[in-house]
Structure 1
Amino acid sequence: MILAQWQENPRPAKLSEELENGIVRCHLSPRNCKIRPGKYGFCMVRANQNGKLVTLNYGRSVHATEETIETEAVFHYAPGEPILSMGNIGCMLNCDYCHNWKTSQARFVADGDVWNYTPEQVVEIAKSHGIRVISWTYNDPVVWHEFVTETAALARQEGMINLFKSAFFISPEAIEELLPVIDIFSISVKSMDPKYYRRLTKGWIEPVLEGTKQVYAAGKHVEVSTLMVTDLSDNDDTARAISTFVGEQLDATVPVHFVRFHPDYKMTDSRRTPIDRLESARATALDMGIRNVYLGNVYDNDATNTTCWNCGILQVTRYGLNARLVGVNSTAECTSCGAPTGMKLLPPAPRPTTVDSLPDQYQVADFTWHGDIRSLHIQLLNEGTESQVVYQRRFGDPAAGTAWTPLPLAPGESYRFAAAKATPDEHGVQVAISPEGVKCSLHEVFDRAHFPTVEVATGALNEDVTPFPSYAVTAPNRGATFLDITEASPS
């Protein structure tokens, strides 16, 4: 059998127990998978090679992407802060509505979607672009455990912050290995209904809740989000159950996010979550005493802003994935009444320089926001042997100005960043590149970021259609064999 490129060179895995007859047990997730030689665990990226547990996805990633911290349902840690988002392959769950199924379910992964990084390269990308937060995200970082812990430790040595965005179906032992290197945990609690978890995620709820309590008790910054799936969990019962857990088991000040669903993967016959149901859930949570309750994947809604719990003034304005502090001082207190916001702030970063006009010969590509497509990934490749500069700006809103922001690219560098609609009157985004040596592609993003995306030329232009490949009904089932692990050799 031909070995896919991303599966080459397995690495020794942590949290392994060797049993009789060459069987190994993986203690990364609550499944505690018992894996026979040449076979895989549920995640399909941890396997038994000659009686040893190995990981197949060390350093295997979707393209590193600059986004903002709001992408990860984190509103109370450095609002508006740029992050470097890193996602990988595989997952310890298999949610029927997964927005990242093309990479979370390893049997669908295409080599063209996979990039190889070392821990040093990830940290260097962040450093070279002035990014202070690395986010472990997308499919789910739990199954990337070895690469995450090693890279996060290196990042911390450079003074960086690590964010872990996860469904958190993870063992207590694995959490203990994360605690020394992870600063922020954004945890997706899918539901408070055990039957829902079993049926729709193929996991179970109890370890998710216990793990959330574990990181909160360790003093980490925690925010909780729940995807409100249309006609399944988009109701006040869900809001009450989530609020009870947060209020009684964590703290009423822990931010809660109710996130809008879009049809995807095995649930394309559904519809977007009605906004009024999200607003009702938020009202329920506020009535129960949860102090900071937000809506996700919505625009033009005050429920994305932060107001002072004490005096009610506006503290942070948000539009899409953009945020601006307007009522919070440098010590994270309300500028009106002095009440603590509970936010954690980073020292101010240098403001990016801008230019009013482009160099001669630059080519400009336009992208116009449409329907629910209000964010975009812009991928750049400097094919030359000299440094290049790319420029980007927004257009359509006179109040936002017309200046261009430069983005330097090192020779041979491939860089990807997100642009999201920043004001109600903004029409779109423009990218200007040198006619020699730089390639640029634009990729639509539906709601918060997901992978893979498709180029605009092949993307959907309908308002509520996910702009990436649709799940094929004839796709192979989980029992399909796609690699004989005995053919792989360790690095």
Structure 2
Amino acid sequence: MADKKWQEFGYPARLEERLPDDVVRCHLSPRNCRIRPGQHGFCMVRANRDGRLVSLNYGRSVHATEETIETEAVFHYEPGARILSMGNIGCMLNCDYCHNWKTSQARYVEDKDVFYYTPQEVVDIAKRHDIGVISWTYNDPVVWHEFVVETAALAKEAGIVNLYKSAFFISEKAIDELIPVIDIFSISIKSIDPKYYRKITKGWLEPVLDGTEQVYRAGKHVEVSTLMVTDLSDNEKTAHDIGAFVLDRLGPEVPTHYVRFHPDYKMTDTIRTPVDRLEAARQVGLGMGLRHVYLGNVYDTDSTSTRCHNCQELQITRYGLNAEILAVSADGTCTKCGADANIRRIPGGSTRPATVPALPASGSFDTATFDWYGDVRALHVQVRNDSADVRRVYHRRTHLGAKEAPWAVLELQPQESYRFIAAKSELDERGVAVAIPPGCTSSLHQVFDRAHFPTTAADSGSLNADVTPLPLFETRG
């Protein structure tokens, strides 16, 4: 195995208990790993160095990426908001279907995929691109605890909202440290079956449920999602059990998402979740009394739209990862009947990129295009300004007919690398075009459903457009 340079530096870790013989215990997760000198915990990114607990992934990240808040299964906090997604290395779990396996399982991380950020740099990226939400996401932010807590505090001081997207296998003490700095918790509850948790995730259930209730009782914005795995958990019992938890221990206003599965990691010998099973699950949730039940990772269905729970006015329409607010006021109420829409808004709303109708006539641009195909309807666009001057990159959606969309403008500082998601937003949309000026480079990376890492360059293709994106997990001996 190649050297892991990203593991060389250890940062002092929180939630440490020092034991005799230089042994330490980590109280970040319910595992409470007991770690001998020179050894790692289950997550492989918290270690014992000279009798002290250290974090090996502080500031180590996948590429910071601009996305939309809907990518995080968050539909009721400033719909359509632009977010800056930050993901790291390692995980407290090892789910058999993980679509971030190449970063969540630290043994597979390659130095070439690791980027380095300071807390201030993360906040500066968000401010420079006028992004109002930082999302701690991808593999799982639990194992990035020190970096998340310190950076989120800086972001909060700058008026930036913090979103925590997690499977939430985390200790009560660690949650207490998150509550002052995190505004939104999007929690993935894999199942309500304890045996499922042990077998599929390698964790256990009750701490996840207790932690979810803990942040809800603290007054935080909470949304719950469940991956409906084909022939394993894509049934009405799963939908009922999740709904019962939300109703019994949270509240009927908590948005609940039943999410479509795609085969990945160790579970590729199957198919994507049939949409009719998801629709049936949604009806179970609604029939139980949940106010806001959605489907995730689906297109072309009204089951992603929001209606007023009181008067049924259509409040928000969604297509894929894009949202349009139609009937929700700035204070989060229905504009027709005045009922609480259970939607939190960011004062002043969410900013949108500047646009121009055409590329500058004086410019010289290389243009790259990508057309949606199969279930690949999202793309990460990575651009870099290698020049010594500020450069403007342009991107837009292409359509099947004569319709021409305006070009969005992305301004890059000298030597700046930037990554953003483009997801299909309309039925007649063909794909994406990116125009790059001299001194800049770009690459396009196809993604399934919500964004994930690793990603594959678009010209590498995919094994099957409707099953799983590259790279594929190969069984190790």
Q: Which band: TM-score by shorter chain?
A: over 0.9
Q: State the distance in 1 between where 2:282 and 2:408 align.
A: 37
Q: Is residue 354 of structure 2 the alignment partner of residue 353 of structure 1?
A: yes
1:419 aligns with 2:422: yes
The alpha carbon displacement at 1:348 in A equals 2.6
Q: 1:468: Cα distance to partner?
A: 2.5
Quote how far apart the aligned CAs of 1:349 are: 4.0
Structure 1 Cα separation of the partners of residues 7 and 115 of structure 2: 12
Structure-1 separation of matches of 2:184 and 2:406 = 34
- AA aligned to 1:67 is E
Query: In the alignment, is the contact (CA less than 8 A) between 2:272 and 2:467 conserved in 1?
Result: no
Shift of 1:396: 0.8
- Aligned partner of 2:154 in structure 1 is 154
Instruction: Tell me: CA distance 1:350–1:233, structure 2 relative to 1, closer, same or farther (3 Å).
Output: closer
Q: Is the 8 A contact 1:377 1:444 kept in 2?
A: yes
Name the residue aligned to 1:266.
266
Which string of whole-angstrom CA distances, capped at 9 and with x for unpartnered residues, describes residues 306-330 of structure 1? Answer: 0111111210000011000011122
Gapped regions of structure 2 (runs ≥ 5): none
Question: In the TM superposition, what is the alpha-carbon distance from 1:334 to its structure 2 partner?
Answer: 1.1
CA contact (8 A) 2:142 2:168 kept: yes
User: Counterpart of 1:372 in 2: which secondary structure?
Assistant: coil
Deviation at 1:335, TM superposition (A): 1.6
Q: Which amino acid aligns with 2:357?
A: D
**Counterpart position of 2:103:** 103
- SS of the counterpart of 1:427? strand
Hey, what's the Cα distance between the residues in 2 that align with 1:39 and 1:180? 32
1:470 matched to 2:472 = yes
Structure 1 pair 311–297 and aligned structure 2 pair: CA distance change class (3 A): same
The percentage of aligned residue pairs carrying the same residue is 64
Distance 1:350 1:310 in 2: 29
2:247 matched to which residue of 1? 247
Deviations 1:415-448 (A, max 9, x none): 00000000011000100011x2101000001111
Distance in 1 (alpha carbons) for counterparts of 2:340 and 2:178: 28
User: 1:479 maps to which residue?
Assistant: none
- Check whether the contact 2:81–2:351 (CA below 8 A) recurs between aligned residues: no
In structure 1, what is the Cα distance between the partners aligned to 2:397 and 2:266?
35
Q: Which residue of 2 aligns with 1:338?
A: 338
Q: Residues 342-421 of structure 1: matches in 2 within 5 Å?
A: 342-346=342-346, 347-359=348-360, 360-396=363-399, 401-421=404-424
Equivalent residue number for residue 172 of structure 1: 172
Pairwise CA distance, 1:21: 1.3
Please tell me the residue identity of whatever aligns with 2:408.
Answer: T
* Aligned-partner Cα distance in 1 for 2:25–2:256: 35
Q: How far off its partner does 1:474 sit?
A: 2.1
Instruction: Give me the CA root mean square deviation.
Output: 1.2
**Partner AA of 1:407 in structure 2:** L
Q: SS state of the match for residue 456, structure 2? A: coil
Q: Quote the offset at 1:462 in angstroms.
A: 3.0
Cα deviation for residue 196 of structure 1 reads 0.1
Contact kept in structure 2, 1:43 and 1:143, CA below 8 Å: yes
C-alpha displacement of 1:362: 1.1
Q: What TM-score comes out, normalization by structure 1 length?
A: 0.95
The residue identity in structure 2 corresponding to 1:173 is: K
Counterpart Cα distance in 2 of 1:461 and 1:42: 31
For residue 78 of structure 2, give the secondary structure of its aligned residue in structure 1. coil
Instruction: Report the residue type matching 2:179 in the other structure.
Output: L
Deviations 1:18-71 (A, max 9, x none): 111111100000000000111010000000111111110000000000000000
Aligned pair count reads 474
**Cα 1:13–1:350, aligned 2, differ >3 Å: closer, same or farther?**
closer
Match of 1:430 in 2: 433
The alpha-carbon deviation at position 246 of structure 1 amounts to: 0.2
1:61–1:117 Cα contact (<8 Å) kept? yes
Task: Give the counterpart letter for 1:468 in structure 2.
Answer: L
User: In structure 2, what is the Cα distance between the partners aligned to 1:28 and 1:165?
Assistant: 17
1:441 equivalent in structure 2: 443
1:136 paired residue number: 136
Question: How far apart are residue 345 of structure 1 and its match?
Answer: 0.7
Quick one: distance in 1 between partners of 2:203 and 2:320? 31
Deviates more, 1:309-318 or 1:345-354: 345-354
Structure 1 residue corresponding to 2:453, chosen from 447, 451, 454: 451
Gap regions ≥5 residues in structure 1 = 476-491
Q: What is residue 38 of structure 2 aligned with on the other side? A: 38
Conserved 8 A contact 1:330-1:345: yes
1-structure distance, mates of 2:111, 2:405: 39
Is the 1:370–1:461 contact (alpha carbons within 8 Å) kept by the matching residues of 2? no
Secondary structure class of the residue paired with 2:25? strand
Contact 1:397 1:423 in 2 (8 A): no
| Separation in structure 2 between the aligned mates of residue 213 and residue 399 of structure 1, nearest angstrom | 51
Deviation at 1:8, TM superposition (A): 1.6
Q: Give the Cα–Cα distance (whole angstroms) in 2 for the partners of residues 69 and 54 of structure 1.
A: 32
What's the CA shift for 1:194?
0.1
Structure 2 length as normaliser, TM-score?
Answer: 0.98
- Give the secondary structure class of the aligned counterpart of 2:204: coil
Distance in 1 of aligned mates of 2:464 and 2:49:
46
